[in-house]
Amino acid sequence: MKKLITGNEAVARGAYESGVTFASGYPGTPSTEILEEIAKYKGVQAEWSANEKVALDKIIGVSLSGRRSMAVMKHVGVNVASDTLMTLSYTGVNAGLVLVVVDDPGMYSSQNEQDSRIYAKFAKIPLLEPSDSQEAKDFVLLAFKISERYDTPVMIRLTARIAHTESVVEIKDNVNRRSYYKKFKHDPCKYVMVPANARKRRIFVEERLTKLEEFSRHILYNRIEWGSSNIAFVASGIVYQYAKEAFPEASFLKLGMTFPIPVSLVKSFTKKFKVFYIAEELDPFLEEQIKSAQITHGIGKKLFPYTGELNQDYISRALKRQVKKNSVKKYTKIDNSRSLLCCGCPYLGVFYLLKKMKIIAIGDIGCYALNVFSSYNSLATCISMGSSLGIASGLGRFAQKGLKRKVVSVIGDSTFFHSGLSALADIVYNKGAQKILILDNKAAAMTGGQGHPGTGQRLKGEKGRKIEFEPLIKAMGINRVFTVNSYNLKAIKEVLGREIVNEGISVVIIDSPCLLVSKARVVTKYRVLSNFCRNCKECLKLGCSALLIDNDQRVTIDNNACTGCSFCYQICPAKAIRPI
């Protein structure tokens, strides 16, 4: 039966049909739905891990136990898991093991635009790139075969456009889930990577790569489509679709497996043409492989940009030489005026206070990074998961001398368990004097409210164990740990004012659930009494989008949007904001 499903749903379906018994990952747009969809299938265990490295480690264990397993993450997640990945390449697998990565060309919801395909080359493991949902499903089945046949982890790389595009997939109602089981074998030469063993496996990795190149020549997913014009493309993934749309008459070498590339196939295809085009988004991944095989008449990054997402219009203009010879493509302007924290978000108040108190906030990855779009922004940095503690540790120790301003780390609850914990241990060990705010909104809110160790909510709905922040942090030797309600500005101000001048480490937990997750009912809404309002616009500094300016340049409250958080009521100097 034909179904219209996204690339993410298709990967999940592929995992189910392949007989995957366990899958894990860490939420991150645009990859989040894959694991959520896998979790809906009966007979598959699926759970969020504390971070991507833990997820990959767990699936290695499952593979050793003889069962097929999958890890799912966004591109930046692979950076976290890469330590494991680089050596996993040496050990290989027992039962099939597949890593699914979703890149974000155009940076619709990410902090960078890295081309994760390079990890496949770096780790010397095979790479598959589907170009629609049907291939996304089929490639998962293929990936497990390759994994088991060649004793290797296999990487499948999607882009956001593939992940979030629905296209037609043939799905059988009654599918025989392939069952695969290979007994656990104690084999230290293969799995204990001390130098003596690693040297042997290092040679195996190179031999495996030669065999994989041979294999990539013969798979159907690396295919030539002869066209009637003299234009020729080598392309993979979504860019194949764009190029095909722009030049349906052209000839194509469509690559499904993009590392290692089938060199002899590329040679026999491209020698028919005087020039050919290597169309790809982000880095010249195919181009470098093709050029290093001494095939030099291909045009790639000379025409196509390193930056952003491609489309058929751009490819068409590029071939007609209507684009500037420039490797940088400008991004479509995204209107950020709506990229604010939600109305009544529990974080609005604490950011307002930080700015008011002239404190430098070293931020982290999560919703709270949206504070940067507020006109009253207090965030100074946002770099990677868990970075806020280390960065503030570096900045804070010299802040008194040069900056004359206090520094705090601001980290979310899920991010804290992802990679803040080890940074906190470092600060205790090195006798730091850091001030850390944990914004605990009881969810990985930015990605849709997933659970984590601090909530005890597990992916399939079952209860896990919840780790409480206060006893955890106290057990690390930090005595000054305080929990305050996110909506009590007076209490937050008092604690911040007191702790910021304290000599040692202080941790303040700003505590209240995300409104999108808790779906709390509004009890009291607020309005502005115009005869009291002095029009000082102090309330607008909160960055709450329920506060509007009317045609007379006066503040009003959008009754539909107001969540009754009371922040504006608490800060109004004229007491002009009152409950309705």
Cα 323 from Cα 319, distance rounded (Å): 9
Binding-site member from 184, 536, 558, 580 for other proteins (CB under 8 A): 558
Cα 150 from Cα 138, distance rounded (Å): 18
350 binds other proteins (CB under 8 A): no
516 binds other proteins (CB under 8 A): yes
Instruction: Classify 407 as helix, strand or coil.
Output: strand
Q: The tokens of 461 are what?
A: 């709905």
108 binds other proteins (CB under 8 A): yes
Question: Could you tell me whether strands 480-485 and 232-236 are parallel, antiparallel, or unpaired per DSSP bridges?
Answer: unpaired
C-beta of 174 vs 560, nearer to other proteins: 560
- For residue 525, the minimal CB distance to other proteins (Å) is 15
225 binds other proteins (CB under 8 A): no
Q: The tokens of 295 are what?
A: 């095939």
474 binds other proteins (CB under 8 A): no
Binding-site member from 40, 210, 225, 248 for other proteins (CB under 8 A): 248
Q: The tokens of 89 are what?
A: 């390449």
One symbol per residue from 177 to 216: x for binding other proteins (CB under 8 A), - otherwise; what is it?
----------------------------------------
- For residue 332, the minimal CB distance to other proteins (Å) is 10
Angstrom distances, CA of residue 452 to CA of 33, 251, 394, 467: 16, 49, 28, 9
DSSP 285-331: HHHHHHHHTT---EE-TTTS-SSS---HHHHHHHHTT-S-S-S-PPP
C-beta of 162 vs 424, nearer to other proteins: 162
Cα 410 from Cα 388, distance rounded (Å): 7
Binding-site member from 67, 190, 244, 435 for other proteins (CB under 8 A): 244
- For residue 406, the minimal CB distance to other proteins (Å) is 30
Binding-site member from 83, 187, 225, 245 for other proteins (CB under 8 A): 245
Cα 580 from Cα 396, distance rounded (Å): 44
Q: The tokens of 29 are what?
A: 């747009």
Binding-site member from 173, 206, 335, 462 for other proteins (CB under 8 A): 335
Residue whose pair of structure tokens reads 């010879």 in the numeric block: 325
DSSP 523-546: ---EEE-TTT-----GGGGG--TT
- For residue 184, the minimal CB distance to other proteins (Å) is 40
Residue whose pair of structure tokens reads 């007491």 in the numeric block: 575
132 binds other proteins (CB under 8 A): yes
404 binds other proteins (CB under 8 A): no
241 binds other proteins (CB under 8 A): yes
Residues 28-57 touching other proteins, rule: CB under 8 A, are 29-30
304 binds other proteins (CB under 8 A): no
Indicate the DSSP class of residue 445: G
Residues binding other proteins: number (CB under 8 A): 41
168 binds other proteins (CB under 8 A): yes
Cα 195 from Cα 72, distance rounded (Å): 30
Cα 487 from Cα 492, distance rounded (Å): 9
448 binds other proteins (CB under 8 A): yes
281 binds other proteins (CB under 8 A): no
Give the residue among 148, 130, 114, 95 at the shortest CA–CA distance from 6: 130
Q: Give me the residues that bind other proteins (CB under 8 A), please.
A: 2, 4, 29-30, 106, 108-109, 132, 160-161, 164-168, 238, 241-242, 244-246, 248, 311-313, 335, 337-340, 342, 448, 516, 545, 548-551, 558, 560-561
